[in-house]
Amino acid sequence: MLPSDVRPADPPIPLTERLDEVVFYVPAYMGPVDDLALMHRMPELQVVQLLTAGFESALKYLPSGVTLCNAGGVHDASTAELGVGLILTSLRGIDDFARAMPSGEWQHSRREALVEKKVLILGAGGVGSALRSRLQPFEADVVMVGRAARPGVHSVDDLPDLLPDADIVVLALPLDERTRGLVDAGFLARLADGALLVNLSRGPVVDTEALVTAVGSGRIRAALDVTDPEPLPVGHPLWTLPGVLISPHVGGNSTAFLPRARRLVSEQLIRFALGEPLMSFVVT
């Protein structure tokens, strides 16, 4: 029994019963679509702060007049780090060696080095720039491609000339109507034999059927952190095609995520409270 002057704390009121009070909303990281659909039940909503760099899935749920911010900068280092890992694993055959361990097979062989490889990075934003800074110490020749040409960055219009000379092509682009299906059969046909395609962006940037055909021919290889569809269904050809390495969309999901996400949300809340401009807004 509790003393007469001590009462248990009131249980917290469920979020769904307080939606009419929400002005600043942070949906769960990689949460269900239902979290995004809640926005239409928040009449006072002013700001939505995502914890992902990609924001395309939130757009159709975003009420008119609400500011949408992504997690720009939060995932750059971790995603670039995974990109390096996927490239090195594919080139040096680390995945093959790991699969050979249970049977005790000693697969001594000469594999490809990253040294002097020409790496074409599509996307000159945070992830692309972070990846460039990590690849250059490997003595790779890194070429950047952005939406528009600027010093040190080629335009996407230059791709037909750049693709045939690339040993590795890394996708670090946002998904929108301009990039959806960008990597199609024609794009893949321009790649040199033996080229490696690395996707760190979003699955629909690549035409999956065209990729299966190109990799299935043995002409190119792929290392994918994202796929279309996603999750990739059991039995999909990409799971078993030689030359394909898949990680389950974990580019930004490292131990670096939570501290950086907390710092971003804290800074955004302070700016919001003080009426200062928000960072990383993508729709306003």
When pLDDT is averaged across residues 216-222 and rounded to a whole number, the result is: 97
Given this structure, which CATH class describes domain 78-246?
alpha beta
Report, as an integer, the average pLDDT of 52-65.
93
The answer to whether 268 touches 279, Cβ cutoff 8 Å, is yes
The average pLDDT across 203-214 equals 98
- Bridge partners (DSSP) of residue 118 are 141
Q: What is the pLDDT of residues 161-173, one digit of tens each?
A: 999 999 999 999 9
Domain boundaries, the chain: 15-73+254-283, 78-246
Render pLDDT for 127-154 as a digit per residue (tens, 0 to 9). 999 999 999 999 999 999 999 999 999 9
Active-site positions read: 202, 230, 249
Q: With bands split at pLDDT 50, 70 and 90, how would you rate the model's confidence at 283?
A: confident
Q: How far is CA 244 from CA 12, 30, 215, 224, 225, in A?
A: 48, 25, 8, 8, 11
Across the range 96-119, mean pLDDT stands at: 97
- Does the pLDDT value for residue 76 go beyond 60? yes
pLDDT the model gives residue 281: 85
Calculate mean pLDDT across residues 20-28.
Answer: 96
pLDDT score for 265? 97
* Residues 204-237 as b or e (16 or more Cβ within 10 Å = b): bbbbbebbbebbeeebbbbbbbbbbeeebeeeee
Asked whether residue 2 carries a pLDDT value surpassing 80, the answer given is no
Q: What is the mean pLDDT of the chain?
A: 94
| Whether the domain at 15-73+254-283 and the domain at 78-246 fall into the same CATH topology | yes
Where do the H-state alpha helices sit in 185-274? 185-190, 208-216, 257-274
Q: Which distant-in-sequence residues (6+ apart) come within 8 Å of 149 by Cβ?
A: 155, 157, 158
Fold of 15-73+254-283: Rossmann fold (3.40.50)
Res 9 pLDDT > 60: no
